[in-house]
Structure 1
Amino acid sequence: MTVECIKNSTAHRFEGNPIAEQHRLRYKCLIEGQAWNAPFIDNMEYDQYDNPATVYFIWRYNKQVKGVARLYPTTKPYMLKDVFSHLVSYESLPATAKVWEGSRFCLDKDLCPKQRKQAAQELILAYLEYCLEHNIGVMVPAYWKSVFVNNGCPIHWLGEESIADDGKRVRAGKLLVNHKACEVVRNKAGIYGNVLSYGCEKRGTMASFLKL
């Protein structure tokens, strides 16, 4: 059970071209699967929040990228503030190093239900583990609130539910990050070991495990 935690600066520690592969998965899920009006090129979906500040969580099956989620700092212009600010009415939008935005939570539609559930649970735990380790909180992806709620995540809502342009119900919220919340999700998923991998960097014949 491993979720790869990758930035542009650490992509060389991982097999293949994981950042390009997650863009291709997003194209498959969002452009082909949901007809999103989002930019793309060479069958890769992307936006302005894909840059060196972005942290990607990548889930593979048989060495292929089948799940992805990302984190982005609210100290820079971010999606909820730029595009979905109408979803936030209970409090001010954050602009702090202590709160990051989660987005682009995608699972390959070709996964069977059991695999999709496993991928979703491990990606949620990746959010929790990373945020605990870096002492930050995370705002959950507006389109995926049911996934987080159904897996035991305590959510603090930032506004009322709304209807998106595609007719789907969306709601912005904050994932309450603490060890108790992580324990609840682990118990529900039956996953008790850490899922995050920061990759390895080869030095001669030795490989050492490195953190971001």
Structure 2
Amino acid sequence: MILIIDGLNRHRYTKLLDEMFELRARVFRDRLGWDVKVVDGKEIDEFDALDPAYVLGLDDEGHVVACVRALQTTGPHMLADVFADILDGEPPLRSATMWESTRFCVDTERLSGGKSRNSVSYATCELMTGALEYAKESGIEDIVTVIDPIMNRVLKRSDCAPYDYVGSTKPMGKTSAMAALLDCTDERIDRIRAFAGIEGDVFMDSQAAKALEDGVTPVVLDERRPRKPAARPAVSAEMLQDWCNEQLQEAASVQDREAARELMSTLETAGMIPGNRLKAKRA
């Protein structure tokens, strides 16, 4: 399941954040050989102090098995301030509708092979799905991510291939780095879900999240609720009736007035607005 931790709630999940930083140390320093700073077994850099959002993937026992960090590109971020060589002299990407995704990793020691729910493949795709859905719901249109060739192949195999790249590939530790662009669209999300067989809502419900916040592992974290529909603004009966009255009052012709009255009658019959409360005078 996916849990979002940001600047507003991070003080409630210090244990999970410690697990995430420890996972990052094992992956980026120990496994990949990156030149990262590790203190007390935790990999933490200066960008973690900027209140980024973290998308965490948790297993059925409530342990962090996957994570990724999301940071705005309008301020300091890794592509602009650490991996600027990738840009080949071009200015860094900055947009209010673009996030930078970094520190994407999964726990290959705790997870199994294959494509089961507790596999590396499934956890990777679930994390991609959660990150993209969270970004899309937050008004983000694109993600730029600094990755290595291995992660680039993972994205392609998961039917989440970047739609473009920025700059060129540069050496980084034992491997190399590139900057890829991903669009936060339903089409991309649906492709990843189909590839991994992910159904229902990937995000942890409020009860399970509260249990983790209190330091108590929920009994079950693998239940899938129906996929959450896109959020729509709530419209009250009074708001709808006021709008109908405005249409009636501003009608410029007999035909427009009749159309407005017919609409109000239909809404009254459907019980969506109270009846017999027309504020406008009938002409």
Instruction: Please indicate, yes or no, whether the TM-score normalized by the shorter chain is above 0.5.
Output: yes
Shift of 1:103: 0.6
Q: Which has the higher strand share?
A: 1
Deviation at 1:192, TM superposition (A): 2.5
- 1:153 matched to 2:151? The reply is no
Match of 1:142 in 2: 147
**Aligned 8 A contact 1:11 1:18 in 2:** no
Runs of 5+ unmatched residues, structure 1:
203-212
The residue aligned with 1:113 is: 113
Secondary structure (helix, strand or coil) at the match of 1:181 reads helix
Q: Is there any run of 5+ residues in structure 2 with no aligned partner, and where?
A: 212-283
How far apart are the structure 2 equivalents of 1:33 and 1:45? 13
RMSD (Å), alpha carbons = 2.4
Cα distance change on mapping 1:165 and 1:106 into 2, 3 Å:
same
Pick the structure with greater CA Rg.
Answer: 2
Q: 2:38: which partner in 1?
A: 40
Identity of aligned residues (%): 25
In the alignment, structure 1 residue 84 sits paired with structure 2 residue 93 = no
Query: Counterpart amino acid of 2:169?
Result: S
| Structure-2 residue corresponding to 1:9 | 8
Question: Structure 1 residues 161, 89: closer, same or farther in 2, change over 3 A?
Answer: closer
Give the match for residue 185 of structure 2. Answer: 178
Q: By percentage of residues, which structure has more helix?
A: 2
Relative distance call for 1:37 and 1:167 in structure 2 (3 A) is closer
1:194 matched to 2:201? The reply is yes
Which residue identity is paired with 2:100? Answer: E
Q: CA deviation at 1:159?
A: 3.3
Pick which of 51-60 and 69-78 moved more: 51-60
The amino acid of 1:66's aligned partner reads V
| Aligned match of 1:209 | none
One-letter amino acid of the structure 1 residue matched with residue 158 of structure 2: N
Of 126, 134, 139, the match for 1:122: 126
1:109 and 1:148, CA in 2 relative to 1: closer, same or farther beyond 3 A? same
Tell me, in whole angstroms, the C-alpha distance in 1 between the residues paired with 2:137 and 2:89: 28
Task: Report the alpha carbon displacement of residue 154 of structure 1 after superposing the two structures with TM.
Answer: 4.2
- In the other structure, the counterpart of 1:28 is 26
Name the count of aligned residue pairs.
Answer: 200
Q: Higher relative CO (CA 8 A, sep ≥ 6), structure 1 or 2?
A: 1
Give 1:80 shift: 0.8
